Amino acid sequence: MIDKRSKELRKTVVDIIAIERRGHLGPAMSSIDILRVLYDDFLNYRVEDPDWDKRDRFILSKGHGCLSLYAVLADKGFFPKKNLLTFCKSESIFGGHPERGKIPGVEASTGSLGHGLPIGVGMALAAKIRKESHRIVVLVGDGEINEGSVWEAALSAAKHKLSNLTMFIDYNKLQSYGPNAEILNLEPLADKWKSFGFSVEEIDGHNIEELRILMKTIPLDKSKPTAVICHTVKGKGFHFAEGKTEWHHKSKISDDQLDEMYQCLR
């Protein structure tokens, strides 16, 4: 069951997609509820001062899912929502992947997969050395963790006992061109992260209340980094796109398809 607020955020994503009739709908919809709870209930930040030095740092490592981040940042007031209507136009700051230095609230330019967790480890280690109290949160895609750089970063995070680092895995079970289980099976995923020295929890990534409760317990262990495996549905909220690889990225979206998207959110 998708509540009113999550539907409103999804509508913002559809409004963005409608501009150029293209975008990564599937990856945005599997992660948007996680982002909602992070920005509503977990992260410390100041909208009026995006570079506040005591802020928590959030990195969207799966940068192609940026439409959900844009919607949440606009909802929080980092920039006017109307600015999103320039999406992918030549003069726009909003491209198909988020860019630090252009978009208020974006901590890292991502899209080349496998980079977000290494960046987060560096931030977390720096904070620990400086005895700073802010937290670092990274959201990775499940297909993304095929990248070796993710596991190298994981080893380093565990070695340095970075309990100020939390990683959420958007586990929608699909990559851009097929099921994870067929392309490169990730299971047993929880056991892998435990063996790499993380405290691990699994959760329904669309259950708002469960996410809120879990985030109150982070870090799960004060001597380890945390990994939260979020079981999600690619394209969640749009019955015609749920679990469909063809909706990972869609171009030339028709009027009828847009109408159907808006119908799903009524």
Q: 């993304």: which residue's tokens?
A: 144
Is the bond preceding residue 27 a cis peptide, omega within 30 degrees? no
Indicate the CATH number for domain 4-264.
Answer: 3.40.50.970
Residues of the chain with pLDDT under 70: none
Bridge partner list, 57: 136
Per-residue model confidence (pLDDT) at position 1: 81
Q: Torsion-angle region of residue 138: left (phi > 0), alpha (psi -120 to 50) or beta?
A: beta
The whole-model pTM stands at 0.97
For residues 175 and 122, give the distance between their C-alpha atoms in angstroms, rounded to a whole number: 27
Per-residue model confidence (pLDDT) at position 148: 98
Do residues 55 and 134 make contact, with C-beta atoms less than 8 angstroms apart? yes
Per-residue model confidence (pLDDT) at position 60: 98
Do residues 204 and 2 make contact, with C-beta atoms less than 8 angstroms apart? no
The DSSP string of 148-195 is: HHHHHHHHHHHHTT-TTEEEEEEE-SEETTEEHHHHS---SHHHHHHH
Residue 102, SS3 per DSSP = coil
Q: 């930040």: which residue's tokens?
A: 45
Tokens linked to 253: 């979206």
Q: Would you list the domain boundaries of the chain? A: 4-264
Residue 116, SS3 per DSSP = helix
Do residues 81 and 12 make contact, with C-beta atoms less than 8 angstroms apart? yes
Tokens linked to 9: 């955020």
Per-residue model confidence (pLDDT) at position 177: 87
**For residue 47, how far is the Cα from the chain centroid?**
19
For residues 258 and 86, give the distance between their C-alpha atoms in angstroms, rounded to a whole number: 18
What distances in angstroms separate CA 151 from CA 76, 144, 214, 228, 229, one per listed residue?
33, 11, 24, 15, 15
